[in-house]
């Protein structure tokens, strides 16, 4: 495999607070990479800098070898990086189908190779077809999460960043999520996921990176990382 995204020496400061302190990380083509760490360790900031929500203080982000550091969020999205936020987001007054149609207007890949070329195909894939006419505001939380995934997929990404996608989901909903995400690499979509649910991460990810106070302290095969004494000390502890 080769790296689809490379993060080199990434730093982000908010005033006197250092949220990221020289992070190096590569996401390989076709993998599902997990990023874990305590609250406040810099995980979401990492995603926000990569996707242009925040500007990096220093360091570089390379997309397929191209430096995209400092590009606007919409430019990064159109380059092929999708993002689902911690808070499930949609236009609440619009229907499920209308939300997906709007997202589909911001497509990048138009060569016909993408598996979900219509809003209906996306809703079929995430299992929301029966709710296509419902307003987003009335969706149960689990379905709102699925809508968020459909909206990210609508932009036809080659890499999708999932920020705590299982937060607030029950076991059945989490199993549905896992089943969907596992299919992404087979459709040419690499994945990087943040979550606190270690069972979920073990099911999805063959590799984990661990952040602590804005620095990467571990990166490797999932079970090796979970057994790393430093990781156990700073984050996981006896919970595993």
The 3 state secondary structure assigned to 58-91 is EEEEEECCEECCCCCHHHHHHHCEEEECCCCCCC
How many independent structural domains does the chain possess? 1
Do residues 74 and 234 lie in contact, with contact meaning Cβ atoms separated by under 8 Å?
no
Mean pLDDT (whole number) for 80-101: 86
Residue 94 forms part of a structural domain: no
Mean pLDDT of 45-69: 96
The rounded distance, in Å, linking the Cα atoms of 139 and 84 is 17
pLDDT of residue 177: 92
Answer yes or no: is 32 within a domain. yes
Which pLDDT score, from 0 to 100, does residue 86 have? Answer: 67
Rounded-to-integer distance, Cα 69 and Cα 61, Å: 5
Torsion angle of C-alpha atoms 75, 104, 190, 171, degrees rounded to 10: 130
Question: By the 8 A CB rule, do 221 and 206 touch?
Answer: yes
**DSSP code for 27:** E
- For residue 203, being part of any structural domain is answered with yes
Does some domain include residue 229? yes
CB-CB neighbours of 133 under 10 Å: 9
Q: Which domain holds residue 38?
A: 1-74+196-240
Residue 214 forms part of a structural domain: yes
The half-sphere exposure of 27 on its side-chain side, counting CA atoms within 13 A, is: 28
Question: How crowded is the C-beta side of 62, counted as CA atoms within 13 Å?
Answer: 16
**pLDDT surpasses 80 at 88:** no
The mean of the pLDDT values for the chain is 90
pLDDT of residue 237: 55
The pLDDT assigned to 91 comes to 83
Q: What is the pLDDT of residue 199?
A: 87
Residue 98 lies in a domain: no
Q: Give the list of residues 6+ apart from residue 134 with CB closer than 8 angstroms, or none.
A: 95, 96
Domain with 53 in it: what CATH number? 3.40.50.300
Q: Across residues 12-32, what is the average pLDDT?
A: 96
pLDDT digits (tens, 9 = 90+) for 131-190: 999 999 999 988 999 999 999 999 899 999 999 998 888 999 999 999 999 999 999 999
- pLDDT for 240 equals 46
In a domain, 102, yes or no: no
In a domain, 139, yes or no: no
What are φ and ψ of residue 118, in 5° steps?
-135, 155
């Amino acid at each position: 495999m080769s790296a689809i995204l490379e993060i080199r020496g990434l730093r982000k400061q908010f005033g006197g607070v250092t949220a990221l302190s020289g992070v190096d990380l590569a996401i390989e083509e076709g993998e599902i990479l997990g990023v874990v760490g305590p609250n406040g360790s810099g995980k979401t900031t990492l995603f926000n800098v990569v996707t242009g929500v925040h500007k990096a203080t220093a360091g570089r982000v390379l997309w397929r070898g191209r430096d995209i550091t400092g590009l606007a969020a919409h430019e990064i999205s159109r380059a092929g990086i999708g993002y689902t936020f911690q808070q499930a987001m949609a236009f609440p007054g619009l229907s499920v189908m209308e939300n997906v149609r709007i997202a589909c207007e911001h497509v990048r890949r138009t060569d016909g190779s993408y598996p979900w070329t219509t809003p209906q195909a996306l809703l079929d894939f995430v299992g929301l077809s029966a709710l296509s006419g419902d307003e987003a505001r009335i969706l149960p939380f689990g379905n709102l999460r699925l809508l968020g995934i459909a909206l990210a997929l609508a932009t036809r990404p080659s890499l999708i960043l999932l920020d705590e996608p299982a937060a607030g989901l029950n076991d059945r909903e989490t199993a549905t999520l896992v089943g969907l995400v596992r299919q992404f690499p087979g459709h040419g979509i690499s994945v990087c996921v943040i979550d606190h649910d270690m069972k979920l991460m073990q099911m999805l990810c063959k590799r984990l990176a661990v952040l602590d106070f804005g620095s990467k302290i571990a990166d490797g095969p999932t079970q090796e990382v979970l057994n790393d004494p430093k990781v156990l000390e700073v984050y996981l502890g006896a919970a595993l």
